[in-house]
Amino acid sequence: MESISIDEILHITQGELFQGNRSMAIANVAIDSRKTTGNDLYVPIIGETNNGHNYISQAFLNGSRACLTEERNHSFPAEMTVIQVASTLAAMKALAGFNRHRYSIPVIAITGSSGKTTTKDLVASVLSQRYRTLKTEGNFNNEYGIPQTLFNLEADHQMAVIEMGMDHLGDISKSIALVDPDISVITNVGLSHIERLKSQENIYRAKKEILQRLTSDGIAYVNGDDAFLKKINNEKNQFQVKTFGLQGEHSVTAFNYSTSQAGLEMQVKWEHRNEVFTFNYPGEHNIYNCLVAIGLGYFYDLTQSEIQQGLNAFVPSGNRMDIFTIGEIKVINDSYNANPDAMRASLDVLDTLGRDNKRKIAILGDMLEMGDFGPAAHLEVGNYAKGKADILIGVGPLGQLICQGYDNAGPVYQVPDARSAGVCLKEIVRPEDIILIKASRGMGLERVIDFIKEGGC
């Protein structure tokens, strides 16, 4: 972030100087007192269980010399510049929006029920082959994280790729004005968060909030094979709609595609171009992720070679379709999160990697936040695992329903938690087995990897 003066902050946040130095400048904004440095403005956020105002002194000790506050009746370090605002969250968002609009660069916003993080990383990897590209890091895709990403925008950035998550209707709306995208991508509409949103139609409405700021020059780039997203073409829109997909004709279409242990090969048509691409990770679901990156690469004038280099350079984010070996064991760690579509996609990858008669073990845990849809969804995942997995370990209360759906298509083990799954796996794993680990983040199934390492297989 380029430096900004206290006077500018006062104007942007409509704040009042409580104490301190108007002439100083700050070079970044932080909400974690443990990570503040000398030129940071510390923003104390008031959350459901924690009040950042309690850590203002800690931020000062770590080097921060300026902060915002909602609370006048607070003890501030005498050397600290303090700006009072009505809402520290609203003030932080105003500053983030200011920093984003300092720069006239293309901004791409991405959401979806599954695949949005992989798609974001792929798009950024491709565009980075020609442009200096900022992207969302980690899980900074919510109302608090998106401003933190926008503060990282600097004058030499040429592109920005921003991931936007949601749990409720209205979540994306809270941040979309800050991001103000030129292109908004929706990967799909699935069942994630259906416990809160009650219906897939509501999930669709929540995802569509990412389109709210698009103008007549803006582009909605959506999955044309998705039953819900197909509707966007038939709605009255002030923006352009472009689609990607495998079925029928789209703005960018994959055909003659194949998935193997080596990954993907696909022929892609975009306007007058018709070129072949490869991707190092298997699974038909990854074709959709690649199509977004390829289509945007074409749109921003990259060559086939540059786009391919970007696909080659892709590295998955932590615990997302991370395929590696431990000794003679191959592991597919996809334990970051789960929903029915993602479960099926991961099982397809397991099946692909096991085509050389390798023994395939699926460790599948609870898909959380499914509400009334949960029991049927877990039974369906178990049924889908038939023929995809030779052995199933179901983890957690709903994992029992996965086992039930599997219906003894192979050896089945039902265990209560990640530790029990690891113990079970150690007893049955053999050299050259292929192991899939997949569940919602709250199940902590990544801990199973430690048991594989300890087994020394």
pLDDT tens profile 299-340: 999 999 999 999 999 998 877 888 999 999 999 999 988 999
pLDDT at 457: 39
Q: What is the DSSP string of 399-413?
A: HHHHHHHHTTSS-EE
Q: Which of 58, 94, 90 lies closest to 77, judged by CA?
A: 58
pLDDT at 455: 63
Identify the band that residue 193 occupies on the pLDDT scale cut at 50, 70 and 90: confident
* DSSP element (H, E) containing 60: helix 56-61
Q: Does domain 322-455 have CATH number 1.20.58.340?
A: no
User: Could you give the CA distance from residue 29 to residue 42 in angstroms, rounded to a whole number?
Assistant: 6
Flag whether pLDDT at 456 surpasses 50: no
Q: Report yes or no: 208 and 199 within 8 Å, Cβ to Cβ.
A: no
Which distant-in-sequence residues (6+ apart) come within 8 Å of 6 by Cβ?
A: 17, 20, 21, 22, 23, 24, 25, 26, 66, 81, 83
Q: Which of 294, 229, 310, 221 lies closest to 257, judged by CA?
A: 294
Which distant-in-sequence residues (6+ apart) come within 8 Å of 192 by Cβ?
A: 113, 114, 203, 337, 339, 369
Mean pLDDT calculated for residue range 58-68: 94
pLDDT tens figures, 231-249: 998 888 999 999 999 988 9
pLDDT top residue among 97 and 138: 97
Flag whether pLDDT at 168 surpasses 70: yes
Both tokens of 372, joined, read: 């009334």
Residue ranges per structural domain of the chain: 4-91, 103-313, 322-455
Which distant-in-sequence residues (6+ apart) come within 8 Å of 251 by Cβ?
A: 221, 224, 242, 243, 244, 270, 295
We find that the CATH architecture of domain 103-313 is 3-Layer(aba) Sandwich (3.40)
Q: Report yes or no: 27 and 149 within 8 Å, Cβ to Cβ.
A: no
Flag whether pLDDT at 181 surpasses 80: yes
- The structure tokens 């994630």 sit at 192
Q: Which fold has domain 4-91?
A: 3.40.1390
pLDDT top residue among 452 and 162: 162
